[in-house]
Amino acid sequence: MHLKLSPEDAAFREELRTYFTTEIPQEIRDAVAQRRELTKEQIVTAHKILNKGGYAVPHWPTEWGGRGWTDLQRHIWHEELQRANVPLPLVFNSSMVGPVIAAFGSQEQKEKFLPATANLDIWWSQGFSEPDAGSDLASLRTTAEYVEDESGARFVVNGQKTWTTLGQYGDWIFCLVRTDPDVKKQAGISFLLIDMTTPGVTVRPIELIDGGHEVNEVWFEDVQVPAENLVGELNRGWDYAKFLLGNERVGVAPVGATKRVLASAKEWAGDLVAEDPFLAARFVELENELLALELTALRVSANSADGKPHPASSVLKLKGTELQQAVSELVVDIAGPGAIASGAGEGSDLEHWQARSTPAYLNLRKASIYGGSNEVQRQIIARTILGL
């Protein structure tokens, strides 16, 4: 056991810090710091700059832009991005579909999609959930029927996906579809890539309780998808989805971002911290829990074998989202009466962070619901770790 970063890792961290704080436009990093909603352009710009430096997909196979970093280096990368208020590389591209195509896709798919995915020339959406398939994802019903005739081999897709995050920006969507209705439900699912400009694809916005429009319904009506867009083997989609969801859970504990908001909160609270021992105590509790979580993340990343997610990554997801939510709750409380003024505009005398505090708090209720809800994480801990 030893505590310090090695000189190489320390130098590595310094290099990232410099790149992130000098290359990513200040106004984008300010928007993140002020918890503003980012525009599509801001996300794309930041992602492309990261990719130019080799920092968008460092965990991919080196052939496709990966950097062959250690898990600790990946951890440092993730933390430094958040510390510098850099928007994270688009998760659908870098953590979800990219690694799946790299691991299971055909050579043609790799060549066609991976460079464009790494550079966010294609914006991917995740089409997994359906109205009746949430936690129970395997009961999804969107069908893809295989057809082969004079106009070629293709799938005809029908059904509805929901909760598609930022689907309004999506160029392509990776979907789980039912290709065999007659077998055990996990065994009849395939992983399909669909161009969202194909006729028959409709995206409809869903308004959330913070007033934002970040999720959508996506409808498929007789959508013709070339057979070559099937990833891997027919009816093996569930395996690829499990691989993807495992990746999704790594780095899900947003320790860096939460620490940053907590540090901002201290600034926003100003003299209140010194005047109010209860508030000070809440800061201390949260700081300490975040410390424990960060150290757990370090322990897990130092020990994860051959890139496979450590079983304790459920701890990171669960506790990480709880702390993220708790810090957002603290900010609402610090905002005081200003916390209700979410609609305050430019002429307001309230601080922007006050007006943003409640929408941010309400919006973050999602963190314990998606990506495998916290109940599902508890189930994983109970079953696979404790053997219950």
Partner 1 sequence: MDFTYDDEQQALRDAVRGLIGKKYSDFETRRQTVAADPGFDETTWSRLAELGALGLPFSEDDGGAGAGPIEVAIVAQELGRVIAPEPYLTSVVLAGGLVADAGSDTQRAEILGALSAGESILAFAHDEPGSRWAPTASKVTASGSGDAWTLTGVKEPVLAGARADTLIVSAALPEGGTGLFVVDPANTDRTGYPTNDGGRAARIGFNGTAAVPLGVGGDATSVIATGLDRARIIAANQAVGAMEVSLHATASYLTSRKQFGVTLNTFQALNFRAADMYISLELTRSIVDWATMVLVEGTSEEIADAASRAALQTSRASRHIGQEAIQLHGGIGMTAEYSIGSYTSHLTALDHLFGDGNHHLRVLAGKVGDHADVDPLG
Active-site residues, by number, are: 248
Q: Is 123 in the site for ligand FAD (CB under 6 A)?
A: no
- Between 198 and 379, name the residue whose CB sits nearer to ligand FAD: 379
Alpha carbons 20 and 36: distance in angstroms, whole number? 19
Work out the angle at residue 95's Cα, subtended by the Cα atoms of residues 139 and 127, and round it to the nearest 5 degrees: 30
CB of 23 to partner 1, least distance (A): 34
According to CB under 6 A, which residues from 198 to 227 bind ligand FAD? 215
Q: Does 278 bind partner 1 (CB under 8 A)?
A: yes
Binding flag, residue 129, ligand FAD (CB under 6 A)? yes
What are all long-range contacts of 200-204, with beta carbons under 8 Å and residues at least 24 apart?
200/157, 200/224, 201/173, 203/164, 203/167, 203/168, 203/170
Distance CA 289, CA 386 (A): 23
Give the integer Cα–Cα distance in Å for 274 and 271.
5
**Nearer Cβ to partner 1 (250/341):** 341
The rounded distance, in Å, linking the Cα atoms of 371 and 362 is 17
CB of 237 to partner 1, least distance (A): 19
Residue with token string 């993220």: 324
The 10 Å Cβ neighbour count of residue 222 is 10
Tell me if 8 contacts partner 1 by CB under 8 A.
no
Q: Does 141 bind partner 1 (CB under 8 A)?
A: no
DSSP symbol at 383: I
205 lines the binding site for partner 1 (CB under 8 A): no
Binds ligand FAD (CB under 6 A): choice among 45, 165, 168, 202:
165
Of 77 and 361, which CB lies nearer to partner 1 in the complex structure?
Answer: 361
CA 162 to CA 140: how far, in whole Å?
11
Q: How many chain residues bind ligand FAD (CB under 6 A)?
A: 17
Q: Which residues bind partner 1 (CB under 8 A)?
A: 129, 132, 134-136, 139, 162-163, 206-211, 215, 272, 276, 278-279, 282, 325, 329, 332-333, 335-345, 347-351, 358-359, 361-362, 365-366, 368-370, 373-375, 378
